[in-house]
Amino acid sequence: MTTEISRTARVDLDRAALTRYVQDFGVYAAVLALLLFNALFTDNFLQVANLRTQLVQVAPVVIVALGMALVIGSEGIDLSVGSVMALAAAVIPLYLGFGMWPAILMALVVGAAAGVVNGTLVAVVGLQPIVATLALLVAGRGIALVVADGQLKQIRNADLLALGSGEFLGLPVVALIAVALAVVVGLTVQYTTYGRQLVAIGGNRPAAHLAGLPVRRVLVVTYLLSGVLAALAGVLATARLTASDPSAIGNLIELSAITAVVVGGTPLTGGRIRVLGTVAGALLMQLLRATLIKHNLPDSTAQMVEAVIILVAVYLARQRRTR
Amino acid sequence: MTELAQTSTGLTTTDAQQLPTSRVTAGERIATLAQRHGALAVLMLALLGSALAFPSFASPDNLAGIAIQSSTLIIIALGMTFVIISGGIDLSVGSVFALGGVLAAWASQWGTLPALLLPLAVCAAIGLANGLIIARTGLAPFIVTLASLLGARGLLLAVTHEGSTTYLVPRDSVLLDIGRGTLLGVGYPVYIALLLCASGAVLLQRSRYGQATFAIGGNEDAAALMGLPVARVKILTYVLSGLLAGFAGILNAARLGSGVTILGVGLELDAIAAVVIGGTLLIGGAGSVSGTVCGVLLLGVIQNVINQIGNLTSSIQSVVSGAFLVVVVVTQTYLSKVRRLR
């Protein structure tokens, strides 16, 4: 009788341990497996030029997804990131006459302002995050198009172009910025008061409020950070594109960012933020798409495979809550 | 009274009548009224204002134009109303709408019946998949329908050879008559949309399924404990949403005469905005079909007025729609806070 119980208990334990293992390291294992597969079976995959392309392409998604991870960790969601990228792209040419840094600064200020609007609507007014950020998703791109007069503008500032296509130690600057930001965001979540408060609020907002945490301030700061990161991604994407194109930039990137965060193991219910997992999630989706394209599978198949991957990832992550 | 008590807004009215002070009742009544009929009032004001400001606005042709332009979004938003009342969300409708149109145009080469049945079957299957996954595994509707947004778009690309083929509806197809025919100067799709909305309103207010939808959206655990078939109702809701989005796609393809592949991107957000403007709460448990119709028409009027002004670009339109959404939702939140405080 007792052995019976202990045996089933052990099986349960093993299964629980296995599930937890898959949940914690599944996304990294999947990235490694894809890399290995490509190294063996894809021609020219390991060439420096290809790897660089992959890194440059994934960088804006990673940067946006970092902000999204913070917002999702607070049990919210930010649909407006694509429009904020467009706003940043529209603002840059206006201030580029003063030089690169003032232009970037203004773009980031605009992103911060958009984030504060979102954060105020969510934290102070009490709107649901989906609706609050949906409004800015709809209006933001409209404002960007009005600001830019609906036109694509070529960027000729050498400094800004260097930011988009430059290299440092053989790596693209854009990718290095994304890595640096990931480290900063990771450390912020782990080791700062703000990060701990954010996770606590995402886990249980009423409890955090009763414990005396500054719920409103933390939430506003979270949406502000998401706005600033999205604006930065807009700046970098504009620099890489060598043109400010507010009608196309960042279109549907909110979906890619949410996918990266969710595939990376951050639950949509908040209270847990996996920064490294988010980076791996973005890499996984990028590699997956690259693999499918390089093996001549059409875009239609790529999208359907992506859909399945999202569902599987969320399904695996779901079991954590029930245990 | 029984009819009122069915919706959550109705429930608070019952509570109010038990409170002693008349001041409380009056304030709350205004709040309830504003929340239930706010969209209608604003729509009336917008129509009146536009008619006074622009002489060409009130012409029958222009109004019929607004109606036919809004007809597809009304049908999609009808399905979204059910989903949101049940406490969920359906992001896949934009892709399903596009897929329905493409499949209808593709299948119209074999006749009208296949052109109607094939898209409806496929779109219902997508809704069924959404509903099954959401109801059986408990995954968040947001993510599940996000995945089917991608999946349906992928299926569309696969059908159209990666978006390079645009299928045309044959000249002699009955489908074109349905899409382009008019009665009393108003296009058939408008009548179809109104008919669907009337049926939808009856289904929501008068049927067992509709009441279960309200109950599940209001409190899912309580509904399950009362013995309501939560999973079945949810599945049916997503099937309905998929069906309606697909049907809107068919009507649109019938009107355009072809299955345009690039349609419907971001349409789910328009539908959600219209539903929310119409007074349906995004947290579920309260809402109405009539409000949704008003919400869609309001967006249509805004678009039309901005076109009338002429020198304004269409990007202004999204600015106005977004601002409008914020104003409506903030007002709603404020009103429900007023009610809760009483």
DSSP readout, B223-238? HHHTT--HHHHHHHHH
CA–CA separation, B130 and B150 (whole Å): 13
Q: Is residue A10 part of a domain?
A: no
Q: Which pLDDT band holds residue B11 (cuts at 50, 70, 90)? A: very low
Domain that holds residue A282: 60-322
Rounded average pLDDT over B36-60: 79
Model pTM score: 0.80
Chain B: nearest CA to A323, how far in angstroms? 14
The position carrying tokens 């902000």 is A67
Whether the predicted pLDDT of B19 surpasses 50: no
- Residue A94 placed within a domain: yes
pLDDT (tens digit per residue) in B78-114 = 999 999 999 888 989 989 999 999 998 888 888 788 8
Between CA B276 and CA B325 the distance in angstroms is 8
**pLDDT at B306 (0 to 100):** 79
Tokens read off for A85: 């990228």
Cβ distance of A136 and B272 shorter than 8 Å: no
pLDDT of amino acid A71: 94
Distance from CA of A134 to the nearest CA of B (A): 7
CB contacts of A141 in chain B (<8 Å) are: 315, 318
Please answer yes or no on whether B148 and A128 come within 8 Å at the CB atom.
no
A174: contact with B, CB 8 A cutoff = no
Residue B25: pLDDT band with limits 50, 70, 90: low
Closest CA to A140 of A91, A202, A67: A91
**Residues of chain B in Cβ contact (below 8 Å) with chain A:** 89, 133, 137-140, 142-144, 146-151, 153-158, 162-163, 265, 269, 272-273, 276, 282-283, 313, 315-319, 321-323, 325-326, 329-330, 333, 337
CATH topology of domain B40-341: ABC transporter involved in vitamin B12 uptake, BtuC (1.10.3470)
Quick check: helix, strand or coil at residue B75?
helix
The pLDDT assigned to B125 comes to 94
pLDDT at residue A321 in the model: 46
Residues of A in contact with B318 (CB under 8 A): 138-139, 141-142
- B149/chain A closest Cα distance in angstroms: 8
Quote the pLDDT of residue B1: 35
How many domains does the structure of chain A reveal? 1
Read off the pLDDT band of B332 (50, 70, 90): confident
Top-confidence range, B16-30, B125-139, B171-185, B236-250:
B236-250
Using an 8 Å CB-CB cutoff, list chain A residues near B272: 130-131, 134
- A259 touches B: beta carbon within 8 Å: yes
Domain assignment of residue A176, yes or no: yes
One DSSP character per residue, B82-97 reads HHHHTT---TTHHHHH
Determine the residue of chain B that is closest to A135 in CA distance. B322
A121 shares contact with chain B (CB less than 8 Å): yes
> Is the Cβ of A142 closer than 8 Å to some Cβ of chain B?
yes
Q: Find out whether B103 and B159 touch, Cβ atoms under 8 Å.
A: yes
pLDDT more than 70, % of chain B = 86
pLDDT the model gives residue A229: 95
pLDDT for A113 equals 94
Inspect the interface and report whether the beta carbons of B148 and A268 lie closer than 8 Å: no
Q: What is the mean pLDDT of chain B?
A: 80
pLDDT higher than 50, residue B8: no
Q: Tell me A270's DSSP state.
A: S
The pLDDT assigned to A242 comes to 82
* Cβ atoms A145, A247 nearer than 8 A: yes
Q: Flag whether pLDDT at B21 surpasses 60.
A: no
Q: What is the pLDDT of residue A319?
A: 55
65-104 of A, contacting B, C-beta below 8 A: 77, 79
Domain boundaries, chain B: 40-341
Of A135, A300, A311, the CB nearest to B147: A311
A323 touches chain B (CB under 8 A): no
Lowest-confidence segment of A183-187, A261-265, B13-17, B245-249 by average pLDDT: B13-17
Determine, for residues A304 and B154 on separate chains, whether the beta-carbon distance falls below 8 Å.
Answer: yes
Cross-chain Cβ contact B150/A304 below 8 Å = yes
Could you tell me the CATH number of the domain that includes residue A275?
1.10.3470
ipTM of the complex: 0.72
| Strand, helix or coil for residue B168 | strand
A130/A71 Cα distance (integer angstroms):
11
Chain A residue at shortest CA distance from B312: A146
| pLDDT > 70? residue B282 | yes
In the prediction, which pLDDT does A5 show?
A: 55
Residues of chain A under the 70 pLDDT cut: 1-13, 317-323
